[in-house]
Chain A
Amino acid sequence: MNSLLNVLIGLAIGLNLVALGTGRLQALIRIVALQGVILGCVPLLIKPDFNIIIWVFTLITVLMKGFVIPSLLRWASRAANVDRDVAPMIGFVPSLLLGSAGMIAALMLSFQLPLLPEHHGSLLVGGSMATIIAGFLLLVGRSKAIAQICGYLVLENGIYLFGLLLVHSIPLLVEAGILLDLIVGIFVAGIVLDRIQRTFDSLDTRKLNILKE
């Protein structure tokens, strides 16, 4: 079971790098959605015994992260009429190299940590830290607001993965609450995007410092 789990988390880590290397907004949204779906299936592997709550939770997570949030983002980008490019502030090659350096550092660190015996040989901790770093890089390295939201979603995926470490002691209701927050956050962000677009004629967040005056 652990090896399948590692394959899924490895795929998610690979998607981090793809997200850092892609230049198209729609592709970025699709990648983040795919990562959400992959990570949404992880609880099933951690708690293999049949449990209706876990199944329902997984289904909701996959639906939300894989379909609802991406369609909200697509709706927002259509409404705001943005171009297709993500307009990087940190170039693609540097962000790819930084992301992989962060990923290696996270994995090396996770091998050094004194983990519980059941988490030995699992990529959960390293993968979650690598995903958080990649999300952070996307958040600071892209100038378009929609790409930054995607970065935020990747960051959240990393935190969610870390939360799964505690799946045996914290009820999944907490995770479900976080998911609800996320949806509301994205929904509000969609409205904010529309406002930014109307006021500044662009989604480039660098222009927002005009507000200072």
Chain B
Amino acid sequence: MQILHFLSLVFELLISLVVWLLLAPLLPGIVNKVKAWVACRKGPRLFQLYYDLAKLWKRGVVLSDLASPGFIAATAVSWIAILAAALLIPLGPVNSLMSFSGDALLLLYLLALSRFCTSWAALETGSAFEGMGTAREVSFAILTETALITAVLTLALKSSSLTLSLMLTPTPGAGTLLLISGLFAALLAESCRVPVDDPNTHLELTMIHEAMILDHSGPLLAASLHGAAMKLLLFSVLLVKIVLPLGELSGIESTVYLIAGIVLVCIAVGLVESFLARYAFKKVPLFLTTAFLFCFFALLTAWKGFAQ
């Protein structure tokens, strides 16, 4: 009996690792396909990021003379922190690996750790552009993290627990609508998508996240790109699990709904990227404050129960 339990644990770990590691690079591919379709182009292949990652993995690393070993360590820690955060989230039929009271807080802290390490690695290179990108990323992150913390508080208040598997159950009402809008804006900001940052830009002066990884090369760049894709998947799963009651469905149904939901989120991101231009830096705080306010009003409705 003990062995069976152990085997099922190992099996679940393998499945979630496969999902998070192997399926995450598909999401930017879907977003790019949607953008290409809207613009009536053919666009890059769906699996383009896989080819890019494989190519980068084979290449050597060029290191700045100023960089200490911390440059490599920080990039690695940043990637591992995102993976660890992802493993905390229950995926439809597969339970999360570790589920304990307070894992929602751990999720927030792991995301913050990942950002801290990316910023650290960026500053290690000693380049002015990296410093500029870091300053922007960190100052916008203050607002995004406020929105995220408020969203987690809202979910905690609604379910009166701090366990992610219990918190991620949808409740109907106006509050959920507010929360979805706020979280979607936070998703766009966290995964460096269009109204906040442009993943395709090649002009250093307008970059945010891309400016931080300008001096990363080879496997380190692969880790950064893969980490960003995992972050996008993580936030899409969060968003889908807040909307759809996956816990009440059977295994296959919930998997299908989860995948459909994630694809829908990607399509929404692609449509936003196609129809919106990147905001000027002055306007980004306003956008993120709006996201925070959406989450905050969701918190209020969860707390006071009005507007129901």
Contact residues of A with B, CB < 8 Å? 6, 10, 17, 21, 23, 92-93, 96-97, 100, 104, 107, 111, 123
Take A21-B286, A92-B286, A93-B285 as given contacts and tell me if A100 and B307 are in contact as well, using a CB distance cutoff of 8 Å: no
Which A residues are in CB contact (< 8 Å) with B289?
A: 93, 96-97
Cβ of B166 under 8 Å from chain A: no
From DSSP, what is the main secondary structure of chain B's interface residues? helix
Give A96 to B143 CA distance when docked, in angstroms. 14
Give A182 to B290 CA distance when docked, in angstroms. 32
B286 lies within 8 A of A100 (CB)? no
Q: A-B pairs with the 8 shortest C-beta distances?
A: A92-B286, A93-B289, A93-B285, A100-B293, A10-B307, A93-B286, A96-B289, A21-B286
Cβ of B267 under 8 Å from chain A: no
Q: How many residues of B contact A (CB 8 A)?
A: 13
26 sampled A-B residue pairs with Cβ under 8 A: A6-B307, A10-B174, A10-B307, A17-B293, A21-B286, A21-B290, A23-B283, A92-B286, A93-B285, A93-B286, A93-B289, A96-B286, A96-B289, A96-B290, A96-B293, A97-B289, A97-B293, A100-B293, A100-B296, A100-B297, A104-B300, A107-B306, A111-B304, A111-B306, A123-B306, A123-B307
Q: Which of A92, A93, A97, A104 has the most CB of B within 10 A?
A: A93
A19 to chain B, nearest CB (A): 13
Which A residues are in CB contact (< 8 Å) with B304?
A: 111
Give A148 to B183 CA distance when docked, in angstroms. 33
Residue on A nearest B289 in the bound complex, by CB: A93
Residue on A nearest B297 in the bound complex, by CB: A100
Give A207 to B289 CA distance when docked, in angstroms. 31
Which B residues are in CB contact (< 8 Å) with A6?
A: 307
Give A100 to B297 CA distance when docked, in angstroms. 9
Give A38 to B307 CA distance when docked, in angstroms. 17
Give A23 to B300 CA distance when docked, in angstroms. 27
Residue on B nearest A22 in the bound complex, by CB: B286
B188 to chain A, nearest CB (A): 17
A131 to chain B, nearest CB (A): 16
Residue on B nearest A6 in the bound complex, by CB: B307
Which B residues are in CB contact (< 8 Å) with A23?
A: 283
B17 to chain A, nearest CB (A): 41
Which A residues are in CB contact (< 8 Å) with B293?
A: 17, 96-97, 100
Q: Which of B174, B285, B293, B296 has the most CB of A within 10 A?
A: B293
Residue on B nearest A3 in the bound complex, by CB: B308
Which A residues are in CB contact (< 8 Å) with B286?
A: 21, 92-93, 96
Which A residues are in CB contact (< 8 Å) with B174?
A: 10
Give A17 to B292 CA distance when docked, in angstroms. 13
Give A96 to B287 CA distance when docked, in angstroms. 11
Which B residues are in CB contact (< 8 Å) with A111?
A: 304, 306
Which B residues are in CB contact (< 8 Å) with A93?
A: 285-286, 289
Give A150 to B40 CA distance when docked, in angstroms. 42
Give A19 to B306 CA distance when docked, in angstroms. 23
Residue on A nearest B143 in the bound complex, by CB: A93
Give A107 to B305 CA distance when docked, in angstroms. 12
Give A40 to B154 CA distance when docked, in angstroms. 34
Tell me which residues from 152 to 203 in chain B have a Cβ below 8 Å from any Cβ of chain A: 174
Per-position binary interface string of chain B over residues 261-301, scored 1 when its CB falls under 8 Å from any chain A CB and 0 otherwise: 00000000000000000000001011001100100110010
